[in-house]
Structure 1
Amino acid sequence: MPDGRTQMTYQGPAGVETPRTIKVHESDNVAIVVNSFGLKPGTDLPDGTRLVEFVPQGHKVALTDIADGAPILRYGEVIGRAIGDIPRGAWVEESRVAMPVPPDLSALEKATRVPAPLPPLEGYTFEGYRNPDGSVGTKNILAISTSVQCVAGTLDFAIRRIREDLLPRYPNVDDVVAVTHAYGCGVAIGAPQSVVPIRTLQSLATHPNFGGEVMIVSLGCEKLQPERLLPEGKQGIVRLQDEAFHGFDAMIGAILEMAEARLEVLNRRKRETVPASELVVGLQCGGSDAFSGVTANPALGYAADLLVRAGATVMFSEVTEVRDAIHLLTPRAATPEVADALIREMAWYDDYLEQGGADRSANPSPGNKKGGLANVVEKALGSVAKSGSSTIAGVLAPGEKAKQKGLIFAATPASDFVCGTLQLASGMTLQVFSTGRGTPYGLSAAPVIKVATRTDLARRWHDLIDLDAGRIATGEATIEDVGWDLFRLMLDVASGKVKPWSDKWGLFNALTLFNPAPIT
């Protein structure tokens, strides 16, 4: 983790056959295996450790004898305690690791180690779409929102017609997308937590990539009335229950007529040169593995620092993958109030999980564990590496729009699709997504750059992965090298000069609202 206390060390020269491990912090008593096919019993590591059993790639090997109940250290932090004695050279497999208690939210340092500002990074620009409200988009999209799931099928039909009959006449518009969801009716619309899905939909409707041309398709009788999704002074609602409509064809005609008026406006949008400070970048990880915290995520963190230096807005998220590393973040908060906001979001989610009869042990996934992550503590310590080393300037509640520059924590669940939806609602115009196990995830509303934690994955998924951070594990590149590569790639993608693979293939996940409120 690039927090000033950690120094990654590589054991063994590069080479497929040579035993190779990574120890992240000098105090660690485990290292992860780099070799693609793992290491067999009897293998000697450069530090003198001899493996007593097979250790798969990405999994941990004990570098010392670890007694029953003793701490297991990775990233210089306790990721668990030994279940039984673990001899030196043994595989520190998930079943041998007892999860520690989470950091006490009432005993955290607040703004005690605020990082000094990094030198400004000037002169970097991208080609974006300037909006009337001052925001800048990276795409030019007609988005049509729904106020209730009942109309989703009708809107999908209309979208097909718009793409076939209208879009070819407006070549400057990238696409037309449906902002559909499973909310709007059959829900406790007045429940306190209903603010989360409603705020999310309100924010999505005015996303910078949609050019301010808001349009809502409504049924008419739903609890979430469409006016709540329109900004003040805006028009643009088609109600399917309107008595003026005689038949389905009339409904589709009304949607197409309203869409065409907006396409005419969007078609006049042109890219212009804007400073890098206008970027709003979301950082996310999915299909994580043990390499996430030593290759891709530190590179994302380095690029995040570059963006902050350039004056941009950078969001990191995923509460459950931050909770066990929160003690490393609150000291970096700009003020005690920002630290309190971080703690507020952690506490809210603790309560949310408890009410659902779950706890943080439900994360990680089976794939994460297969990739070498023993528990959510180890996963969180690797996840927060995405935040780099800058001051945490602010905190957003789920679905809340970003209104300031710098490094922001945007509270979301860890689910890829829910996190992506909420980051979009917060105004994210470009996302960087790190993955170790691999995922074809993508978003239609904003470009997604996929970064592999392992070169094996980047080679195998050569037409899905945009950047290989696995070169850090093999010593072919540094975190700084990959961070700069990513920074430059972000500017090219934001400018429309480079299309990420998810855009080339049209691989787009459906938007997924976070709805903690009751369903009636």
Structure 2
Amino acid sequence: MQNVALQLRAGDEVAIAMRDIAAGERLAPFATVAREPIPFGHKVALQALSAGAPLHRLGQPIGLATAAIDAGAHVHVHNLGFEVSLAEREIGTRLSNTPFLPASEVPTFDGFRRSDGRVGTRNYVAVLTSVNCSSLVARMIADHFRNPAVLADFPGVDGVVALTHKSGCSVSEGGRSMGMLRRTLGGYARHPNVAGTLLVGLGCEDNQIKALMRDEGLVEGPAMRTLVMQEVGGTRSSVAAGIRAVEEMLEQASKAVREPVPASALTVGLQCGGSDSFSGITANPALGAAVDRLVACGGTAILSETPEIYGAENLLLERAASRGAGEKLVGLLDWWEEHTRDEPQGLDNNPSPGNKAGGLTTILEKSLGAVAKGGTTNLVDVIAYAAEARGPGLIFMDSPGFDPISATGQVAGGANLICFTTGRGSCFGCKPAPSLKLATNSAMYRRMEEDMDVNCGEILDGMASVDEMGERIFRAMLATASGAPTKSELLGYGEDEFAPWHVNAWL
């Protein structure tokens, strides 16, 4: 009989349905019989459980039974819940000794080496805005260069991208939200995938361009221009002036050429969205295996989405390379517990309806898969949203669990590539950084192949191991960094997903 239920670790009280299971069907390879229909990817009890009993997945607690559960019963939101994280918070108890590769063995990719020594995987000119009021002008400037005939005069340039947002006013000077906005804009202006930046403002906003430039150490010059609409003379005059400024930066940007650089120059942002029950079995651990390879090469990976490690924080804390890093992570989790205290479901408002339809029940369960993206190497640092990620190694950046906000922070921190796992089928890009999409199951991959780059469902199908898929993802990272277009780039994703995080009483 073909196995239809997968127990992820001996001792887990539940197994995962490998296909839709009918009531009365044996849960092969187990003798237990399904008491009711079990949807694909959902959990089924392998034993009878009393109310209040803990349930485990991969040997980790994912919640408590809210009612008595019979063997063979469907385990989901109707009978599984939790109140607080059940994870231990001991720091540095299981450190990794993963060695770095000798320089002679580190693979290379073809990147753009910038004057500050950092390396770009793309070559864009960016039009940024200090405030929402300058968004239309920024888009009109970028739109002028969307005509391939116009951009043809600047070979080697990937395009002109307008990155706009909905803030910049009603933001207090010196406040947390202003600091995050300026860090984000500064990080994009300095990004190695950006050869030139035009910063467009209205003129009367709270987020004054001069203050932004001062706080972020930005200096106006050939590759860093500013434009204030109220000074230039209005919309049409501003668009014309902006086009002239971008044309001059494009001439310089087109002189950049790709050259071989070591994989240590990669900084990869790790994202998951539209997760399902298989995310923590296939794509996420496979991405973790790729991250282990990247770190061994001296590269850097950024794990984020603080609410989505809640309940699995022990898996990061036990390999925190310093007590300070571990304590900072605990502090972030404490802040998020307080921040979500007045929400109807607190931190358990995540998973989303789509996650639950895919078989995930509690945030504790979802977090197990999310943490797997970070691989097995040590956690070397914990940083604020949009702060510079200084590797090498695995770094944790504070952010919400909303993918556009989280990825925006990672790119601001220096990520020159994004790897994004999905089980339900997220469609996403994050210009100026290319985004690789990793599918967790073959059914979704086949259904949405035009959006997916790698099918990690082959692990579930028995066609590849997690480690083999990790090697494939790592090679895809290098190819993408060398200029191979991702599916999201071919479809045009990446500008609308720019979304700085705000924690602001006035918005």
Asked whether the two chains share a fold, i.e. TM above 0.5, the reply is yes
1:193 and 1:151 map into 2 onto residues whose CA distance is 19
Q: Residue deviations 1:383-442, cap 9 Å, x none?
A: 111111100111111110112211111111110111111111111111110000111111
TM-fit CA distance, 1:20: 2.1
Question: Is the counterpart of residue 129 in structure 1 residue 112 in structure 2?
Answer: yes
User: Is the alpha carbon distance of 1:140 and 1:160 closer, same or farther for their aligned partners in structure 2, counting shifts above 3 Å?
Assistant: same
Q: Contact between 1:191 and 1:518, CA under 8 Å: does it hold in 2? A: no
The match for 2:124 among 124, 133, 141 is 141
The match for 1:325 among 295, 309, 312 is 312
Q: Contact between 1:184 and 1:224, CA under 8 Å: does it hold in 2? A: yes
Q: Contact between 1:214 and 1:234, CA under 8 Å: does it hold in 2? A: no
Q: Percent same amino acid among aligned pairs?
A: 37
Q: Contact between 1:138 and 1:446, CA under 8 Å: does it hold in 2? A: yes
What is the 5 A alignment of 1:317-396? 317-354=304-341, 359-396=346-383
1:283 and 1:192 map into 2 onto residues whose CA distance is 24
Secondary structure of the 1:95 match is coil
**Comparing 324-333 and 137-146, the one that deviates more:** 324-333
Q: 1:31 aligns to what?
A: 15
Question: Is the counterpart of residue 461 in structure 1 residue 461 in structure 2?
Answer: no
Q: 1:414 aligns to what?
A: 401
Q: 2:97 aligns to what?
A: 116
Question: Is the counterpart of residue 405 in structure 1 residue 392 in structure 2?
Answer: yes
TM-fit CA distance, 1:515: 0.4
Question: Is the counterpart of residue 153 in structure 1 residue 136 in structure 2?
Answer: yes
What is the 5 A alignment of 1:274-313? 274-313=261-300
Q: Contact between 1:19 and 1:39, CA under 8 Å: does it hold in 2? A: no
1:77 and 1:403 map into 2 onto residues whose CA distance is 31
Question: Is the counterpart of residue 261 in structure 1 residue 261 in structure 2?
Answer: no
Q: 2:414 aligns to what?
A: 427
1:357 and 1:369 map into 2 onto residues whose CA distance is 17
2:339 and 2:466 map into 1 onto residues whose CA distance is 36
**Comparing 370-379 and 348-357, the one that deviates more:** 348-357
Q: Contact between 1:148 and 1:219, CA under 8 Å: does it hold in 2? A: yes
User: Is the alpha carbon distance of 1:229 and 1:133 closer, same or farther for their aligned partners in structure 2, counting shifts above 3 Å?
Assistant: farther
Secondary structure of the 2:404 match is helix
1:366 and 1:132 map into 2 onto residues whose CA distance is 46
TM-fit CA distance, 1:187: 2.2
Question: Is the counterpart of residue 240 in structure 1 residue 229 in structure 2?
Answer: yes
TM-fit CA distance, 1:479: 0.3
Amino acid at match of 1:20: V
User: Is the alpha carbon distance of 1:207 and 1:38 closer, same or farther for their aligned partners in structure 2, counting shifts above 3 Å?
Assistant: farther
The match for 1:486 among 466, 473, 479 is 473
Q: Residue deviations 1:333-385, cap 9 Å, x none?
A: 00111111211222222232236676101101011001000111100111111
**Comparing 383-392 and 196-205, the one that deviates more:** 196-205
1:232 and 1:138 map into 2 onto residues whose CA distance is 22
2:336 and 2:101 map into 1 onto residues whose CA distance is 35
Aligned residues: 497
Q: 1:249 aligns to what?
A: 236
Q: 1:4 aligns to what?
A: none
TM-fit CA distance, 1:325: 0.9
The match for 1:182 among 155, 166, 173 is 166
User: Is the alpha carbon distance of 1:100 and 1:128 closer, same or farther for their aligned partners in structure 2, counting shifts above 3 Å?
Assistant: same
1:192 and 1:52 map into 2 onto residues whose CA distance is 52
Q: 2:489 aligns to what?
A: 503
1:390 and 1:374 map into 2 onto residues whose CA distance is 28
Secondary structure of the 2:193 match is helix
Q: Residue deviations 1:137-177, cap 9 Å, x none?
A: 11000001111110111121121123337422112111101
Structure 1 unpaired stretches of 5+: 1-11, 13-17
Q: Contact between 1:39 and 1:57, CA under 8 Å: does it hold in 2? A: no
Amino acid at match of 1:198: R
Q: Contact between 1:345 and 1:397, CA under 8 Å: does it hold in 2? A: no
1:39 and 1:175 map into 2 onto residues whose CA distance is 52
Q: Contact between 1:22 and 1:473, CA under 8 Å: does it hold in 2? A: no
Q: Residue deviations 1:98-117, cap 9 Å, x none?
A: 2142147xx72111221112
Q: 2:156 aligns to what?
A: 172
1:100 and 1:154 map into 2 onto residues whose CA distance is 48
> TM-score scaled to structure 1, two decimals?
0.92
TM-fit CA distance, 1:44: 4.2
Secondary structure of the 1:163 match is coil
2:277 and 2:123 map into 1 onto residues whose CA distance is 37
1:42 and 1:403 map into 2 onto residues whose CA distance is 53
Q: Residue deviations 1:262-313, cap 9 Å, x none?
A: 1111110100000000001011100001100011101011111000001101
**Comparing 131-140 and 221-230, the one that deviates more:** 221-230
Structure 2 unpaired stretches of 5+: none
2:259 and 2:305 map into 1 onto residues whose CA distance is 33
Q: Contact between 1:452 and 1:465, CA under 8 Å: does it hold in 2? A: yes
